[in-house]
A and B are shown apart, each in its own frame.
Chain A
Amino acid sequence: MSDTVLSIENLTVALPSWSDRPLAVNDVSLSINRNEILCVVGESGSGKSVMAKAILGLLPAPHVRVTNGQVQFDGRDLLKTSEDDLRDVRGKNISMIFQEPMVALNPLMRVGKQINEIFQIHTDMTPEQRHQRVVDIFADVHLPEPDRIVSSYPHELSGGQRQRIMIAMALALEPSLIIADEPTTALDVTTEAQILRLLKELQEKHGTAVLFITHDFGVVAEIADRVVVMRYGQLIESGNTENLLRAPQENYTKALVAAVPSLTPRHRVPERTPASVLELRALQKTYGGRAGVFGAKGREVKAVREVSLDVPKGRSLALVGESGSGKSTLARCIVGLEKPDGGEILLDGENIAGLSRKQMMSYRHLVQMVFQDPFASLNPRHRVGNIIALGPKLRGVPHTQAIDKARELLGLVGLQEDAVDRYPHEFSGGQRQRIGIARALAVEPKLILADEPVSALDVSVQKQVLELLDELRQSLRLSMLFITHDLRVAAHVCDDVAVMRQGEIVERGSTADIFANPVHEYTQQLLDSVPGKLWQH
């Protein structure tokens, strides 16, 4: 293809002095052609978003600034274009789709009006023409009942619908280039699949060039024509999607591709022990209903509806579901962060549902939790040693002994023992998650409850943490309830899978069976939606 839409030449972007490195983007050159989706893949801190922002002059000046390079678009260098002219280019010729549609839309304005405004500024259509055009675009992005949605506010729509509005907005003036910065990361997997399909369909229909920024190789496999891999602000490798995914050249790309968990379940010994470490019987939890002194009674949400489930001793069960399915509420009930409204939680044969916090104390050591966000789950003001030793100390272990134990555990999770005297901010996300695992192991639990423990981590780190969890589980003969929205992760570490939707378990079985023959239609839909499902490496 010869018709290049945008070409970036030797782009270099400097970061302010307080950052951990001098350059966000270091001498990157790339080009995008008409009717092509170019994926820029990279882990966090690779400079991919900064690069995208530099194209449109959206860098947070004066601290982050372009120091070198050109961005050629439509015969001129965008970096040398005046702010007024750039404003004209934005939206009309190049538009952008952001990660979080709720933030990108004005919450006080009807969505139809927000798009109408674009036409008002950039075209000389009559109000009637504009309205018709908005309804047409909404139909184009497959929004149900476009006539009604035109006069909705952003908060009245679902996340997927909002992202469709953003896409409609981006397409409004038929730009020649769309920059999409992680547009599906905040969405559930089934919605993500629909949005990706929509983007591809519209891109083909209008012949637009799309610069698609993502961290997910599944997404790359799903939609990209060409791929560019970035790391620490540098371009590592680029090429045709097929070739790059099948035969990556650079070591970094190889490692990244290999780190993506395969959708094929790992072979497992299907031994099934009769005893369960955890058994839930008709567990229920409803939120809402509490009224303040002056407040009105809130809407009731049945987060968990009569769920019965068991985790056999020494096995791992993945609880898979989309956001709002009630999987986290279930976990919170099990560890006693929430009181269930009904049903039983049998932990090692004893019912702990409805116990007070004092009574729970004698069961706490049986089940421990690994949290999702490694940055929020460690107290920034406490030393790592004290964080890990807290549980044992509350059970009467003397301080020095508890700290010695913490050292030992740090070694076990692959960190230096001197980490006990350091503070959490000195560690990376992956290392923090290891500290979180060490903390969970400190009281020698029988069951580990992991709530999306890797969803906040980069793929390469994700893989290491998953492997660590798996090894520890086997060597310490632990049981694990692993909560995730990611089927690839579930396939990687779990023997069994339970699929949850709207507070109910819709299907449960061994991972191999469910991935091979999903019976429930929702499970089929989930499996169908995994980005890049056809790509096996």
Chain B
Amino acid sequence: MKTFWQRFFGNPRVIVGLAWLGVVLVVAIIAPVLAPTDPFDIVGKPFLKPLDTYVLGTDSLGRSIWSGLVHGARTTLIIAVVATLASVIFGTLVGAVAGYYGGLIDDALMRLTEFFQTIPSFIFAIVLVAILAPSATSLVIAIAVVSWPPIARVVRGEVLSVKAREFVQAAVIAGQADLAILFRQVLPNTMSPLIVTGSLLVATAILIESALSFLGLGAPNLMSWGFMVGAGRSFLRDAWWLVTIPGIAILLTVLSINLVGEGLNDALNPRLADI
């Protein structure tokens, strides 16, 4: 029987996804080296074609698209990852407490979760950013607030099933306290679906961030891919590269995350993957 890592890295789709994500990650980290100028600086004439003077050309105000793309990777990744972490942590806590304690606590927390789920998530995110005033922090908050409910539901379901297993009863009989049982015995056994859902959530977070930036609700002084698409959309017919280049970056990144997420799922549940 192959190990988890063998199954994970033996999957060609995972390799493709990881390769692209690796590139994006490296680019984001060394962005100041790759593009030393501020992405908002005007570097030349507007609407220069790619490979003309600058690698990827310039936008409607003469800003370097390459610089925007590189720095945008940074913004997009940081906001998506932080927002995902926040929603995973909060969702896990809510789901774990609801599933473990059950009864009225469960009812209360799950009705709260449903309350959040019934609001159309993107509209809700727009409202939150509008109320909080656009900034990186409010983007993170808005994305986290609209994406924790699925996590809470997944974790609750897992906790319910793990809780019924006998080793949890054994811990009760040994005299372990509730919170210790929840964190040491139950939660470690709910990890695999959580990892899969969480990794796919990063892709959703990137999409929400891009969409908000597209609408002009992004972080004001941070270049991001969604902002670039939004700023260039009126010139689509005259200067296709303004929209297309960041658009492809978003597409490839989201696709890669999905490939890796699926790969994680297949590697964690080998039997399902084969059927």
Residues of A within 8 A of B (CB): 16, 18-20, 63, 290, 292-293, 335-337, 357, 360-361, 364, 368-369, 371-373, 376-382, 387, 390-391, 394-395, 436, 439, 443
Is B165 in contact with chain A by the CB < 8 A criterion?
A: yes
Contacts A371-B169, A373-B166, A379-B167: A394 and B189 contacting too (C-beta < 8 A)? no
Listed in ascending order, the chain B residues whose CB lies under 8 Å from chain A are: 1-2, 103-104, 107, 111, 165-167, 169-176, 178, 185, 188-189, 270, 274
B176 and A379 contact, CB distance less than 8 A:
no
Residues on B with beta carbons closer than 8 Å to the beta carbon of A377: 165-167, 169-170
Do B169 and A361 touch across chains, with their CB atoms under 8 A apart?
A: no
Q: Tell me which residues across on chain A come within 8 A of B189, comparing CB atoms.
A: 379-381
Complex formed: what's the CA distance from A394 to B176 in Å?
A: 7
A293 touching B166 by the CB < 8 A rule?
no
**8 further interface pairs, Cβ-Cβ under 8 Å (given A337-B169, A364-B175, A387-B167):** A20-B1, A292-B107, A376-B167, A377-B167, A377-B169, A378-B167, A380-B189, A394-B174
Interface of A is mostly: loop
Measured in the bound complex, the distance between the Cα atoms of B188 and A368 in whole Å is 25
Decide if B176 touches A63 in the complex (CB within 8 Å): no
The 26 sampled A-B contact pairs (Cβ below 8 Å) are A18-B1, A18-B2, A18-B270, A19-B1, A63-B274, A292-B107, A336-B172, A337-B169, A337-B173, A357-B172, A369-B173, A371-B169, A376-B166, A376-B167, A378-B167, A379-B171, A380-B189, A382-B185, A390-B171, A390-B176, A391-B174, A394-B174, A394-B175, A394-B176, A436-B170, A439-B170
CA distance A143 to B49 in the complex (A): 84
Chain B residues contacting A373 (CB-CB under 8 Å) are 166
A337 adjacent to B2 (CB under 8 Å): no
Out of B107, B170, B175, name the residue touching A360 (CB < 8 Å): B175
Flag if B188 contacts A336 (CB, 8 Å): no
Q: What residue in chain B is nearest A373 (Cβ atoms)?
A: B166
5 A-B pairs with the lowest CB-CB distances in the bound complex, closest first: A377-B166, A391-B174, A371-B166, A379-B167, A381-B188
**Nearest CB of B to A16, in Å:** 8
Residues of A within 8 A of B107 (CB): 292-293
Interface residue SS majority, chain B: helix
**A369 close to B176 (CB less than 8 A):** no
Residues from chain B with a CB closer than 8 A to the CB of A439 are 170, 174
Are A368 and B173 neighbours in the complex by a CB distance under 8 Å?
A: yes
**Would you call B172 and A337 a contact (CB within 8 A)?**
yes
Nearest CB in chain B: distance from A450 CB, A: 13
Shortest distance between the CB of A217 and any CB in chain B (Å)? 28
Which of A20, A337, A360, A379 gathers most chain B CB within 10 Å?
Answer: A379
> B166 is contacted by which of A357, A372, A395 (Cβ under 8 Å)?
A372
Q: Give the chain A neighbours of B2 by CB distance below 8 A.
A: 18
In whole Å, how far is A246's beta carbon from the nearest beta carbon of chain B? Answer: 39
Q: Considering the chains assembled together, what is the distance between the CA atoms of A335 and B170 in angstroms?
A: 10
Q: Shortest Cβ distance from B178 into chain A, in angstroms?
A: 8
Distance, CA A394 to CA B169, complexed state (A): 15
Identify which of B172, B178, B185 gathers the most chain A CB atoms within 10 Å of its CB.
B172
Please give, as numbers and ranges, the residues of chain A lying within 8 Å of B270 by CB-CB distance: 18
**In the assembled complex, which residues on chain B have CB atoms less than 8 Å from the CB atom of A378?**
167, 170
**Chain B residues near A436 (CB-CB < 8 A):** 170
Q: Give the shortest distance, in Å, between B158 (CB) and chain A (any CB).
A: 13
Residue of A nearest to B165 (CB): A376
Max chain B Cβ within 10 angstroms of own Cβ: one of A63, A290, A376: A376
Interface centre among B107, B166, B174 (most CB of A within 10 A): B174
Judge whether A361 and B175 touch: CB under 8 Å.
yes
CA distance A9 to B169 in the complex (A): 49
Bound Cα distance from A364 to B103, whole angstroms: 26
Q: How far is the CA of A484 from the CA of B206 in the complex (A)?
A: 56
How far, in angstroms, from A380 to B189 measured CA to CA in the complex?
8
Report chain A residues within 8 Å CB of B103: 290
B residues less than 8 Å from A381 (CB atoms): 188-189
- Cα of A436 to Cα of B166 in the assembled complex, Å: 11
State how many angstroms separate the Cβ of B86 from the closest Cβ of chain A: 25
**Which residue of chain A has the shortest Cβ distance to B274 in the bound complex?**
A63
Q: How far is the CB of A372 from chain B (nearest CB, A)?
A: 7
Q: How far is B178's CA from A369's CA once the two chains are assembled, in angstroms?
A: 19
The CA of A363 and the CA of B130, in the complex, are separated in Å by 58
Contact in complex: A443, B174 (CB < 8 Å): yes
Give bound CA distance, A376 to B170, whole Å.
10
The interface residues of chain A lying within 8 Å CB-to-CB of B166 are 371-373, 376-377
A335 and B173 contacting across the interface, CB-CB below 8 Å:
yes
Determine how close the nearest CB of chain A comes to the CB of B159; give it in whole angstroms: 14
